[in-house]
Structure 1
Amino acid sequence: MSSTVPADNTADNSSNNPVVTFLTSRRSVTAKTMAPGQVSRADLDAILTAGLRVPDHGALKPWKLVVLQGDVRKTLDEEVILAEFMRENPDAEDKFIEIETNRLQRAHTVIAVLSSPVEHPKIVEWEMALSAGAVCTTLLYAAQSMGYAAQWLTEWYAYNNAMLARLGGVAGHDRIAGFIYIGEKVKDPMERTRPDLDEVVTFL
């Protein structure tokens, strides 16, 4: 085994490649620092279309997408997120209650991605879950490529059965892979530490 990078005499296809440039420089804007803004229907359709064009072994479509916009965000914040939080934390301080009251309203559009595996004699459930993760990533990157602030979040309510049920999922079968928050970028986010290739990549 060697971690030494082998000699490479092939052409350099990365130079001035806009896709690679975007992928190596993109940065998520946290939901708590974005403004709701406005996501156009045309842009949303393009984001959703891109999000579904992911690796999917057997073309099983083992995921469901639920778009949350408008008043439904406030309804879910109050009837599910806040209600479930208060059930578990009846003595919570006001500052924490305020946070739970506005979770989904931090963005103009929130896309919930549900991993929803199907029965297949050869394709294992793990691959279907990975495909749902790919949907989340592609939705995120598509939104960011259009200049929107976007973040892939789970947070505690991604693991809450009441939320899962309101999104049309079935406990014990479906799981929330994540919420993609899409809003307005108020300012460029600060860069964070990235892994060094030598620390995580090995050439065999």
Structure 2
Amino acid sequence: MPEQNQAAMAFLLERRSRPAKTLGLPVPDDRTLGPILTAAARTPDHGKLEPWRFIVLRDQALQRLADAIVDRGQTLGFNDEKIEKMRLQFAQAHLVACVVESPKPSEKIPEIEQTYSAGAVCLALLNAALASGWGANWLSGWASHDPEFVQTELGLKPHERVAGLIHIGTEKNTPPERPRPDLDQITTWMTE
């Protein structure tokens, strides 16, 4: 039997995201965030293409995005409730690590594998933040999927997409545990 990392396995079996609206100050400074981003960048990456990158959003950048949400949502004809929900995601945040899917041309590595790698970075970043003692949550929303918004406001290139917005901060209150999947309902065991 291989040697187990029991602490890591215990963490994974009990890990849980923290709602972004429950995350407050303090947040990791750049030096503290560095190892969290480094851990996320160690994600599976077939072909070593690094088909992702990070944008760290703080302070005025988050407020600027919150303001831009209102204008863009109105332009798109969204109702006030939808706009406000998206605006608050940025306005109430103190630190958001944006994971950008940035696929690279490759004859060997299909773009879908690069997309999966970007998703894996999001989960690795979320887990690294949680393992470091911070509260964290992986969100997205209509603005993060709107090409004009992300290109204008985040500087993404036309071929790039937001894979996730990882909110990180100090948890102010812990919500109750939520139901988890029933392993018997989602697993098929094949022996032949």
How high is the TM-score relative to the length of structure 2? Answer: 0.89
Q: What is the Cα-based RMSD across aligned positions, in Å?
A: 2.0
Name the residue aligned to 1:6. none
> Match for 1:169 among 153, 156, 179?
156
Matches for 1:46-195 after TM superposition, within 5 Å = 46-79=35-68, 81-89=69-77, 92-93=79-80, 98-165=84-151, 166-171=153-158, 173-195=159-181
The CA deviation string for residues 165-204 of structure 1, in whole angstroms up to 9 with x for no partner, is 1222223x21111100111101223111111211112221
Q: CA separation in 2, counterparts of 1:149 and 1:109?
A: 11
Q: CA separation in 2, counterparts of 1:136 and 1:101?
A: 21
Name the residue aligned to 1:19. 8
| SS of corresponding position for 1:193 | coil
Unaligned runs of 5+ in 2: none
Q: CA separation in 1, counterparts of 2:4 and 2:37?
A: 28
Q: CA separation in 2, counterparts of 1:197 and 1:111?
A: 31
1:97 deviation in Å? 5.5
> Match for 1:41 among 21, 30, 38?
30
Identity %: 37
Name the residue aligned to 1:200. 186
Unaligned runs of 5+ in 1: 1-9
User: Contact between 2:122 and 2:138, CA under 8 Å: does it hold in 1?
Assistant: yes
Q: CA separation in 2, counterparts of 1:200 and 1:188?
A: 28
The CA deviation string for residues 14-37 of structure 1, in whole angstroms up to 9 with x for no partner, is 7xx111111111111111222243
Residues 120 and 110 (structure 1), Cα distance of their counterparts in 2 relative to 1, 3 Å cut? same
Residues 203 and 98 (structure 1), Cα distance of their counterparts in 2 relative to 1, 3 Å cut? closer
| SS of corresponding position for 1:65 | strand
1:162 deviation in Å? 2.7
Q: CA separation in 2, counterparts of 1:100 and 1:120?
A: 35
Q: CA separation in 2, counterparts of 1:134 and 1:43?
A: 21
Q: CA separation in 1, counterparts of 2:182 and 2:88?
A: 37
